[in-house]
């Protein structure tokens, strides 16, 4: 799900980096908290948004490497 085919990865990483820097400058949050927020925004959000948008559009959430048409057992 985190791949070049997911259009939500780059914006999410940029927002995550901005939030990380803001937390570093404006608060006394520990490194663990800042890294946790960065991972949540940059790693989890694009996957969730991609699945939600795919479900709303009616697309199947299938793995890009798996061809659903090719079934060797048929």
- The pair of structure tokens assigned to 9 is 């990865």
For the chain, the structural domain boundaries read 9-55
Cα distance between residue 42 and residue 9, in whole Å: 7
pLDDT of 48: 86
pLDDT of 64: 53
pLDDT of 5: 72
Cα distance between residue 48 and residue 24, in whole Å: 26
pLDDT of 50: 84
pTM value is: 0.59
pLDDT of 14: 85
Q: For the chain, which ranges sit under pLDDT 50?
A: none
pLDDT of 68: 56
pLDDT of 66: 52
Q: Cα dist. 65→15, 50, 70 in Å?
A: 28, 16, 12
Q: Mark 2-12 as b/e (b = at least 16 C-beta within 10 Å).
A: eeeebebbeeb
């Amino acid at each position: 799900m985190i791949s070049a085919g997911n259009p939500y990865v780059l914006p999410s990483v940029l927002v995550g980096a901005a939030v990380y820097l803001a937390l570093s400058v404006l608060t006394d949050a520990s490194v663990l908290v800042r890294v946790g927020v960065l991972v949540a925004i940059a790693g989890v959000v694009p996957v969730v948004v991609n699945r939600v948008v795919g479900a709303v559009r009616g697309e199947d959430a299938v793995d890009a490497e798996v061809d659903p048409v090719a079934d060797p057992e048929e």
